Structure 1
Amino acid sequence: MHLQAKGQVNAQQLAEHCQVSLRTIYRDMDALSGAGIPLYSERGAEGGYRLLGNHRTQLNGLSADEAQGLFMLGLSGQAAELGLGGVVAEAQLKLLAALPTGQRDSLAKMSDRFLLDAPGWFGEAETLPALVPLAEAVRRQRRLWLRYRSWKSQRERELCPLGLVQKGGQWYLVGQVGADIRTYRVSRILDFKVLATGFERPQDFNLAQYWQQSRQRLEQESYPDQALLRLSAQGHKLLRALFSPYQLARSQAQGEPDAQGWQQVSLPMGSVWHMASELARLGAEVEVLAPAALRKQLADTASKVLALYRPKDS
């Protein structure tokens, strides 16, 4: 398949690609030739191995849509959400049919042993009627008009849809507006229209790279400050169970636990109000040492809760 894709490759390149020795490459090439694969080898600095004529490995007539759907193999749930369930199923059948019997049985066993369940625990799957037509607009490169509910207000946008990303069970649309590339949560799209006009994708745009950079930027912007806490042993357990992996990975213990098991820990935090709400779940197993505004906010919250539950005079 590597020769078929590259045209001509020398033995050293094949050895590096397959992570084997040159001796293994020479042996395998002899074996392929003996099996009837029309290989041609040419000596010299510009030489290498190539397939003769129009020899190709066939997959029993994959359609263009089925070929595009191959990237979703093993992601049947996501494929169905995007309207590609049937296409992926057909592509999988044709791929299986092209394999030798032993490999076909092995692949079937693998599919029974591994499962991707993307949404988090206790979360209901979103019903997103817009997802299939949005996916079609991404595939066909058609511009979109949409009305979107942000945190502050409703807004209208015309954009070029560059991709769809599923993160934590939520779908996000990545679109270009002018020179900017932005992210929209699909569940917040109130209305949309697929326009007749097409667009050209930016040649240097890479969806995976954009998403990684966007995610890292969001995490950094969401937790710009540090809180200094004093936690009991139980507080440590609650912290690990209730706080985000991003915060936990960047938490730092200060010194050793005291005789009662309490220990100082620094932890990334966002807004004072949000952090106080999160820490309230730890009850009396945490004390805020800094910043002062967070300590005051948590104390005010505790006072209000105490007043709410204080026995009332009859």
Structure 2
Amino acid sequence: MRASRLLTILMTLQARGLVTAQTLADECEVSLRTIYRDIDALSAAGIPVYSERGSDGGYRLLDGYRTRLNGLSAQEAEALFMTGLAGPAADLGLGAVMAAAQTKLLAAMPAELRGGAERVRARFHLDAPAWFGEAEQPAHLTAIAGAVWEQRALQIRYRSWKAEKHRRIEPLGLVLKSGSWYVAGQIEGRVRIYRIARIRELTVLDQRFERPESFDLAAFWADSTQRLGEELHSNRATVRLSPWGVKMMEAFLSPLVRNGAGISEEADAEGWRIVTIPVGSVRQAAAELLPFGAEAEVLAPEALRLRMAEIAADLVRIYGDGARGREADVPAAAVIASRVLTGTPS
């Protein structure tokens, strides 16, 4: 246990430079006294580690000292190859770099670890886009990635859902979500998200910017997506679902909506249950519930119920000619429309 901890301290100092004793204690999950003893043990073993005093002090290795010991366990070596995302790396113009890095990593590994790493590469594959969707190939992705690295501002012409806008942004990071690339761009101290495929024109400016030290891309993205989901589903709808409709929830509703749904414990004589789900606007809610077809009946709010009836009536007008004289084949949408428009109970 101690040998593993000593190796962790050594590799941390080699990777980061100056590190405080408290940071080492937190990462190793031990006391400060234990860290002090470990540092003494490393020094006694001939490792050139020394301390810097003061409020900004800590421990560091002698400049230029490097150890060839990688300390990888079999599981750690395999995990490294799980991060080899060839598709995204290629999108960023780093495909050849990624391949070269993996080749060098394999060459540096002890022979007993190479087999496991090769098995991981052969048996695991990341397919980021959603089912039956294609990954975007934004024209400006490589240029934006370069601007993120070099901390250069961008002038963009962006097409949103509502209008076309011109913006000067400071790109703080890139995110790949379900096959689509996004850039987190700062404007006058506020960070916004832009879908790169919607950027029509882009100019990388000579102006550099200071990246906020407190900005955490992963935390920002998680908070933003959670907040956006809640804003888009700030209302609730009451829906009556058939047994099959309840099963369809997993396929047709997002995790956020499913997690916020409430399902009645008791079913009626036909096995239908009452479900309350988070929804957004009437138009958005109707679009989300249409895939359920006749397996769902909206009970409230009334505006959503009427909108579903209007859509069902439109479907009857479109497909009605093919069902004339064949009552058994009348589309289920007609039944829904008839019930809603006439007030007939289900």
8 A contact 1:73–1:92 mirrored in 2: no
> For the residues of structure 2 that align with 1:245 and 1:263, how far apart are their CA atoms?
20
CA distance in 2, matches of 1:149, 1:13: 45
Give a deviation string over 1:96-125, Cα, whole Å, max 9, x none.
232222223332222223222111110122
Task: Identify the match of residue 275 of structure 1 among 276, 280, 285.
Answer: 285
Which whole-Å deviations, capped at 9, do the CAs of 1:135-162 have from their partners, x for residues lacking one?
Answer: 1111111111110001111111111111
User: How far 1:167 moved relative to its partner?
Assistant: 0.8
Aligned-pair identity (%) = 48
Residue in 2 aligned with 1:66?
none
Counterpart residue number, 1:137: 147
Q: Kindly report which structure 2 residues correspond to 1:12-161, keeping only aligned pairs within 5 A, or say none.
A: 17=27, 38-39=46-47, 55-58=65-68, 73-161=83-171
Which of 193, 199, 224 aligns to 2:203? It is 193
Letter in 2 for 1:116: L
* 1:3–1:9 contact (8 Å) kept in structure 2: no
Q: Residue 115 of structure 1: SS of its match in structure 2?
A: coil
Question: What code does the residue aligned with 2:219 have?
Answer: Q
Q: Deviations over 1:238-280 (max 9, x none)?
A: 2221111211111111231122111101101011112112222
1:244 aligned residue (254, 275, 283): 254
By how many angstroms is 1:57 displaced?
2.4
Distance across 2 between alignment mates of 1:268 and 1:155: 31
Q: Is the 8 A contact 2:233 2:278 kept in 1?
A: yes
Structure 1 counterpart of 2:179, from 169, 173, 181: 169
Distance 1:302 1:50, change over 3 A: closer
Secondary structure, in 3 states, of the residue corresponding to 1:155? Answer: strand
Where in structure 2 are the equivalents of 1:188-267 lying within 5 Å?
A: 188-267=198-277
Give the Cα separation in 1 of the matches to 2:152 and 2:293. Answer: 52
Q: Find out whether 1:307 has 2:331 as its counterpart.
A: no
Distance in 2, matches of 1:298 and 1:16, equals 56
* TM-score calculated relative to the size of structure 2: 0.74
Deviations 1:259-309 (A, max 9, x none): 211110110101111211222221221111111111111111111111222
CA distance in 2 between partners of 1:33 and 1:104 (Å): 32
TM-score calculated relative to the size of structure 1? 0.81
Partners of 1:241 and 1:13 in 2: CA distance: 44
Contact in 2 for aligned 1:253/1:266 (Cα 8 Å): yes
Counterpart in 1 of 2:297? Answer: 287
| Paired position in structure 1 for 2:330 | none
Q: Identify if the C-alpha distance between structure 1 residues 272 and 41 changes in structure 2 by more than 3 Å, giving closer, same or farther.
A: closer
How far does residue 39 in structure 1 lie from its aligned partner after superposition? 4.2
- Quick one: structure 1 residues 182 and 52, their matched pair in 2 at CA, closer, same or farther if it must change by over 3 Å? closer
Q: Is the 8 A contact 1:230 1:263 kept in 2?
A: yes
Measured in 2, the distance between the counterparts of 1:98 and 1:177 equals 44
Counterpart Cα distance in 2 of 1:53 and 1:279: 63
Partner SS, residue 93 of structure 2: coil
Moved more, 97-106 or 227-236: 97-106
The farther-off stretch of 158-167 and 106-115 is 106-115
C-alpha distance in 2 between matches for 1:14 and 1:181: 32
- Counterpart in 1 of 2:190? 180
Residues 160, 177 of structure 1: 8 Å contact kept = yes
Q: 1:143-190, CA deviations, whole angstroms, 9 ceiling, x for partnerless residues?
A: 111100011111111111111101111100111111221111011001
- CA 1:196 to 1:262, structure 2 compared with 1: closer, same or farther past 3 Å? same
* 1:16 Cα deviation from its structure 2 partner: 6.9
